[in-house]
């Protein structure tokens, strides 16, 4: 077997056994293996990787690792320090994928329902399929609709159809939201008008007199401004819950500029 030396940086170490974190280690492999295959065999999903440098030269996922190679693997980072002999031009040539979709749009696995609601509340286009969709369906949606996959399932993120994605390191949905906003620099993209929390459709103003038959008596009496989902026709108004929702949004917008440091668990 051939042997290369691998080094994973920053949060990519979350996916490694403790003895391989924050250090270089020998990696034995059969000749003819792509660097993508070896990275994922080490436990790191390919969408988490932003830059691969082999012997000082950026490479893409198709690169076939050779005996004696020195492989450095970097995550998506705001500032990235790579070996001095990797020039700016070389970094550009080593781009692994197009930039994430803009405006950002997401697809989430079935275990992230509360995060889906939070993202929709902030106005982000967020697909949250029901239980009839399996992992293959989610990967296909991510590919066909150019969506960022959010999940806690490492296997789902390793699917070849997934181009952009992120493993949530925490089970707390508010912490998950903050992590996603930091990772994709989305604080300035938070919208005043949410998406439909039920189906992800867009909301539009609707005249009160056209929906009177759908309103409860007290709602009809006390409220005058309404929005309706253009897809499922769910009706929204600024009820007693609204101040709490606004306070939540403001608390998210006031988050510190430094990205949270959540470790991968369970």
Q: What is the pLDDT of residue 261?
A: 58
User: Quick one: pLDDT at residue 95?
Assistant: 75
Closest CA to 60 of 98, 24, 13, 6: 98
| Res 263: pLDDT | 57
Please tell me the predicted confidence (pLDDT) of residue 131.
82
Query: Model confidence over 69-103: pLDDT tens digits?
Result: 999 999 986 445 555 555 444 445 567 999 999 99
Residue 236 contacts residue 226 (beta carbons within 8 Å): yes
* pLDDT (0 to 100) of residue 130: 85
Place of tokens 């990275």: 39
| 3-class state of residue 163 by DSSP | coil
Distance CA 41, CA 127 (A): 29
**Entry pTM:** 0.88
Q: Does residue 158 surpass a pLDDT of 70?
A: yes
Q: What is the CATH number of domain 2-93?
A: 3.10.20.30
User: Per-residue pLDDT for 140 more than 50?
Assistant: yes
DSSP string of 50-91, one letter each residue: EEEEETTEEE-TTPBP-TT-EEEEEE--SS----TTS-HHHH
Better-scored residue on pLDDT, 29 or 91: 29
| Strands of the sheet with 70-75, listed across from one edge | 25-29, 2-8, 70-75, 49-54, 57-59
What pLDDT does 19 receive? Answer: 96
Dihedral angle, C-alpha 71, 72, 76, 78, nearest 10 °:
-150
pLDDT at position 173 is 96
Ranking 37-46, 49-58, 242-251 by mean pLDDT, the lowest is 242-251
pLDDT band at 254 (very low <50, low <70, confident <90, very high): confident
- Above 60 in pLDDT, residue 33? yes
Segment 125-136, tens digit of pLDDT: 999 998 889 999
Q: How far apart are CA 169 and CA 159, in angstroms?
A: 19
How does pLDDT run across 209-218, given as a tens digit for each residue? Answer: 999 999 999 9
Going from N- to C-terminal start, the domains of the chain cover 2-93, 98-266
CA distance 180 to 64: 32
Mean pLDDT of the chain: 91
Q: Residue 28: which H helix or E strand, with range?
A: strand 25-29
What's the pLDDT at 89? Answer: 41
The confidence score (pLDDT) of residue 205 equals: 97
Mean pLDDT to the nearest integer, 219-242: 95
């Amino acid at each position: 077997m051939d042997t290369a030396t691998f080094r994973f940086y920053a949060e990519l170490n979350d996916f490694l056994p403790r003895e391989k974190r924050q250090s270089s280690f020998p990696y034995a492999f059969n000749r003819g293996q792509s660097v993508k295959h070896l990275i994922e065999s080490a436990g790191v999903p390919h969408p988490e990787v932003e830059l691969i440098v082999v012997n000082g030269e950026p490479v893409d996922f198709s690169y076939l690792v050779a005996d004696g190679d020195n492989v450095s693997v970097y995550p998506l980072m705001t500032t990235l320090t790579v070996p001095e002999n990797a020039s700016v031009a070389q970094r550009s040539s080593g781009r692994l994928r197009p930039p994430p979709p803009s405006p950002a749009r997401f697809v989430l696995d079935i275990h992230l329902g509360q995060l889906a609601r939070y993202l929709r509340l902030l106005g982000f286009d967020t697909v949250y399929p029901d239980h009839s969709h399996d992992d293959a369906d989610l990967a296909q949606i991510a590919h066909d609709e150019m969506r960022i996959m959010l999940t806690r399932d490492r296997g789902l993120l390793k699917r070849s159809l997934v181009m952009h994605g992120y493993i949530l390191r925490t089970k707390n949905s508010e912490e998950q939201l903050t992590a996603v906003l930091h990772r994709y620099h989305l604080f300035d993209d938070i919208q005043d008008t949410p998406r439909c929390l039920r189906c992800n459709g867009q909301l539009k103003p609707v005249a009160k007199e056209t929906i009177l038959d759908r309103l409860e008596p007290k709602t009809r009496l006390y409220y005058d401004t309404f929005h309706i989902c253009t897809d499922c026709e769910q009706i929204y108004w600024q009820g007693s819950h609204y101040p709490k929702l606004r306070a939540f949004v403001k608390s998210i917008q006031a988050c510190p500029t430094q990205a949270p440091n959540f470790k991968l668990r369970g």
